[in-house]
């Protein structure tokens, strides 16, 4: 199996992603795995692609289009991710304190799911942990840094920060370093991008998507559809909490392995 991999050169460039999708549809690839940059903007292009009967597996976030004969989903369990972050927070704060959420993005269903799960879990299991600030997600880590920096300079008393995306995690960490509060204010991030500070405690933990497994299942689904096998409409892959203690474990090394397509 030959895999053509490509992505827009600018993050969140939905138009380029749509153009890439239309290109691979026109080139008659036998299957498409797509990680959408946005939920709403990709719906129509995906519907057009489905009309050509190419098997499509959407990974990462749901588009709101029901699974069909040639559309299925392999999703990260965002509810479990939010729960993991909340329970980790409850553990390191001993069930009490003030937390701010940064990186909220209503344009991605996965983001709203993880936020809702995180806050629901806090409310039900750790009622003495209060969410005292919420900040929207930005286009880059640098802008996330500015957002968190302003939050920290506003005098708000915080024990912890939860960053819902990779850029928000990086930006929040930069802001903590800049204000010399890294390790003092606990930071829990999402989506493995910034790894080194986990080892020195500047970043407490990251809720990591099992991208290795998501990629493997997506390709298996394409393969199954091409061979006429029944494939499930939706597969949910459990995320993993990446901490200083387990970062070198075999389980986590598999998650952090890059070239998942080699030897498939």
Which is nearer to other proteins, 227 or 262 (by Cβ)?
Answer: 262
45-53, 88-96, 187-195, 222-230 -> range binding other proteins (CB under 8 A):
187-195
Select 53 or 262, whichever has its Cβ closest to other proteins.
262
- How many C-beta atoms surround the C-beta of residue 186 within 10 A? 22
Q: According to the binding rule CB under 8 A, does residue 199 interact with other proteins?
A: yes
Three-class DSSP category at 27: coil
What is the dihedral angle through the alpha carbons of 201, 145, 110, 133, rounded to the nearest 10 degrees?
90
**What is the C-alpha to C-alpha distance for residues 139 and 95, in angstroms, rounded to an integer?**
32
Binding-residue total with other proteins (CB under 8 A): 41
The token duo for 127 is 């009622």
200 makes contact with other proteins (CB under 8 A): yes
Length in residues, the chain: 264
The span from the CA of 190 to the CA of 103, in Å, is 10
Task: Choose, by CB under 8 A, the member of 98, 107, 133, 178 that binds other proteins.
Answer: 178
Smallest gap, in angstroms, from Cβ of residue 127 to other proteins?
35
Which among 43-51, 75-83, 92-100, 196-204 is the span making contact with other proteins, rule CB under 8 A?
A: 196-204
DSSP SS3 for 68: strand
According to DSSP, residue 36 is labeled -
CA 61 from centre of chain: 9
9 binds other proteins (CB under 8 A): yes
Residue bearing tokens 């061979």: 227
Q: Pick the stretch among 4-12, 56-64, 95-103, 229-237 that binds other proteins (CB under 8 A).
A: 4-12
- Of 115 and 191, which CB lies nearer to other proteins in the complex structure? 191
78 Cβ neighbours under 8 A, 6+ residues apart: 110, 111, 113, 114, 117
The DSSP string of 85-132 is: HHHHHHHHTTT-EEEEEEEE-TT-HHHHHHHHHHHHHHHHH-TTEEEE
Q: Under rule CB under 8 A, which residues in 120-159 are in contact with other proteins?
A: 139-143, 145-146, 149-150, 153
Q: Taking CB under 8 A as the rule, does residue 5 contact other proteins?
A: yes
Q: Per CB under 8 A, does 163 bind other proteins? A: no
Binding residues vs other proteins (CB under 8 A):
3-11, 16, 20, 139-143, 145-146, 149-150, 153, 173-174, 177-178, 192, 194-197, 199-200, 247-248, 253, 256-259, 261-262
């Amino acid at each position: 199996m030959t895999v053509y991999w490509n992505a827009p050169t600018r993050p969140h460039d939905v138009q380029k992603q749509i153009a890439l999708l239309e290109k691979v549809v026109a080139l008659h690839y036998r299957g498409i795995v797509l990680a959408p940059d946005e939920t709403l903007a990709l719906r129509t292009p995906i519907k057009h692609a489905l009309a050509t009967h190419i098997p499509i597996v959407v990974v990462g976030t749901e588009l709101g289009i029901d699974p069909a004969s040639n559309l299925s989903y392999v999703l990260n369990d965002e509810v479990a991710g939010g729960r993991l972050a909340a329970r980790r927070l409850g553990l390191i704060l001993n069930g009490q304190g003030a937390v701010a959420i940064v990186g909220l993005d209503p344009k991605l269903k996965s983001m709203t799911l993880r936020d809702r799960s995180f806050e629901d879990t806090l409310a039900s299991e750790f009622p003495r942990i209060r969410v005292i600030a919420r900040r929207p997600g930005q286009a880059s880590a640098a802008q996330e840094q500015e957002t968190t920096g302003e939050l920290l300079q506003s005098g708000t008393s915080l024990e912890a920060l939860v960053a819902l995306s990779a850029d928000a995690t990086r930006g929040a960490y930069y802001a903590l370093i800049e204000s010399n509060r890294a390790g003092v204010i606990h930071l829990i991030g999402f989506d493995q991008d910034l790894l080194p500070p986990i080892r020195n405690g500047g970043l407490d933990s990251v809720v990591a998507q099992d991208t290795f497994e998501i990629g493997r299942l997506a390709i298996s689904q394409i393969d199954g559809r091409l061979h006429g096998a029944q494939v499930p409409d939706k597969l949910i892959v459990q995320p993993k909490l990446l901490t200083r203690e387990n970062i070198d474990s075999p389980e986590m090394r598999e998650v952090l392995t890059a070239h998942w397509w080699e030897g498939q």
